[in-house]
Structure 1
Amino acid sequence: MNPTLDTVASGLEASQTMMDTIADNLANANTTAYKSETPEFQTLLYQNQTQPGADATGQTQYPSGLELGTGVKVASIKQIETQGTLTSTSNPYDMAINGSGYFQVQLPSGQTAYTRDGSFQVNQTGQLVTANGDQLIPAITIPSNATSVTVGTDGTVSVTEANSSTSTQVGQIQLANFINAQGLQPLGNNLYAQTTSSGAPTVGAPQTNGLGSINQDYLESSNVDVVQQMVSMISAERTYQLGTQVATSVGSELGYLANAAQGA
């Protein structure tokens, strides 16, 4: 392939990745605790024809070089870790983390996963679980005759049972934090898995070790800025269009040269 077309193709692929990422962000604009993503780009290798500082005339040096880029690549897709807005739900089993930290849940495989989606429910045995039935860690069981459930900002879970005027603590929510939360592996269903890049989790009660606090009756909204995403989409679309125009121009030039060669 023509080197110019190779360069253009890398730009088109980068623009497509940008559009795919924006589409995913907009699709999850209403997903609880979703963190928007953005691709990071890096230049490809350069063709150095003249090295900066190389000898020019024997007595002078080139103040700048002659270097031709060969395109762009997507280095990574990074999550934006800003806090989403906390929205009141009036549901006692809904919990939002105000600050850093993740809830811990146990998958059917026994693996521990992590989430900021605190839209918990009670299963048939009274345990707090996610919408998919994954059990909160540590396990917390709500008595069947509980008339009220209270979750403190420090994660203590207390209930008031029927025919009683006093509350009883039935559990303690613990949060996990990571030195590099962007290194977590997305699993889908608002869940993440630990990786060597994220490091081992630091686990503790809310409001300790820099962990966030718990807000009962609230959920964390997505941090997607829809307006900004639309602006980025327009920019990415325009960049893609310009890339295709360059490819068309190069194709026309190559066609002209081919016809000229045949007529010679």
Structure 2
Amino acid sequence: MIRSLYSSSSGMSAQQVNLDVISNNLANVNTTGFKKNRVDFASLFYQTLRQPALSTANGQNNFAVEVGNGVKIAATRTAWENGILQETGNDLDLAIEGAGFFMVHLPNGEIGFTRAGAFRLDSDGYLVNAQGCRLLSSKGNAAPENSITLAGQDLKYIQPDTDDFVVQIAPDGSVHTEKEISDLPAIELANFVNPEGLMAAGSSAYVYHDVCGEVILGQPLENGQLGMLHSGFLEASNVNIVEEMIKMIMAQRAYEIGSKSIQTSDEMMSITNNLKR
């Protein structure tokens, strides 16, 4: 009965985390570039009450008796499938069709990787995202004060010369204007052998971890390993409201079952305590 109390409580704790993840998915259903998360569960250790035996005195085989001790959260995983592309009409809004991440310079100095492509020009002429983080590329044209390197290459800011002409961005990341300039910057994307290793940093951005493995850096459509850009579009969240609502109902029911199991175990212990009365 004590074991059942702990097993049930572990199930309730796990479902609470599951519900937290589902709630966060639903809260970000309209967040540009957001990727939904899911929870993976794993059973806790098993206690062997009886070892298996090939034969006994009466010639019968005995199977093992093992009892589990509950459940735990094994991992929270990110679903990287693309969200739908929504047209905005703003040439500086960019959506990635396929693999890859934009690179931005986070306030703490790290490189952020994001699928949210709502960019604009700041007062200094740099391409920045909605949080004011500057877009990075090894083919940029404005060197930062402190060097930023990725995959052995120096990253730079992108600062188009926008004097009296319109900036347009092609599917391969090249920047075009009405004025002929030979050294226009180009937007690059980054991808990873194992994107599951990326750590969430907020604002739909992620930071690198060694678990990600090798970094793939290049212009869109390069080597078939990176997606293409769509100018004038944004990638919507990949959260499916109906799917998340179903998961929420299942998590709620599992939580209720755990609570009922604890109540039943408590009643059984109460009966045992009252046997002498």
What TM-score results when the alignment is normalised by the length of structure 1? 0.91
Give the aligned residue type for 1:73: K
User: What is the CA–CA distance in structure 2 between the aligned matches of 1:146 and 1:60, rounded to whole Å?
Assistant: 91
Runs of 4 or more above 4 Å deviation: 166-169
Give the aligned residue type for 1:140: I
Name whichever of 171-180 and 1-10 sits farther off. Answer: 1-10
Name whichever of 211-220 and 147-156 sits farther off. Answer: 147-156
Matches within 5 A, 1:74-223: 74-138=73-137, 139-161=157-179, 170-209=184-223, 210-223=225-238
- CA drift at 1:198: 1.1
Whether the aligned pair in 1 keeps the contact of 2:119 and 2:130 (CA below 8 Å) is yes
- What whole-Å deviation, never above 9, does each CA across 1:74-110 have from its counterpart, x for those lacking one? 0100011111111111111100010010011112333
- What whole-Å deviation, never above 9, does each CA across 1:176-204 have from its counterpart, x for those lacking one? 00111111011111111100111242101
Whether the aligned pair in 2 keeps the contact of 1:159 and 1:168 (CA below 8 Å) is no
- CA drift at 1:52: 4.3
SS at match of 1:41: strand
Give the aligned residue type for 1:24: N
* Alignment: residue pair count: 257
Gaps of 5+ in 2: 138-156
Asked if residue 247 in structure 1 is aligned to residue 272 in structure 2, the reply is: no
Whether the aligned pair in 2 keeps the contact of 1:156 and 1:169 (CA below 8 Å) is no
RMSD over aligned CA atoms reads: 1.8
Give the aligned residue type for 2:251: A
- CA drift at 1:55: 3.2
User: What is the CA–CA distance in structure 1 between the aligned matches of 2:168 and 2:162, rounded to whole Å?
Assistant: 15
User: What is the CA–CA distance in structure 2 between the aligned matches of 1:146 and 1:96, rounded to whole Å?
Assistant: 26
What TM-score results when the alignment is normalised by the length of structure 2? 0.87
- CA drift at 1:50: 3.0
Quick one: which of 195, 215, 231 aligns to 2:246?
A: 231
- CA drift at 1:61: 2.6
Gaps of 5+ in 1: none
- CA drift at 1:168: 6.9
Question: Matched residues, percent identical?
Answer: 34
User: What is the CA–CA distance in structure 1 between the aligned matches of 2:264 and 2:51, rounded to whole Å?
Assistant: 30
- What whole-Å deviation, never above 9, does each CA across 1:202-252 have from its counterpart, x for those lacking one? 101110131011110011111111001001111110111111111111111
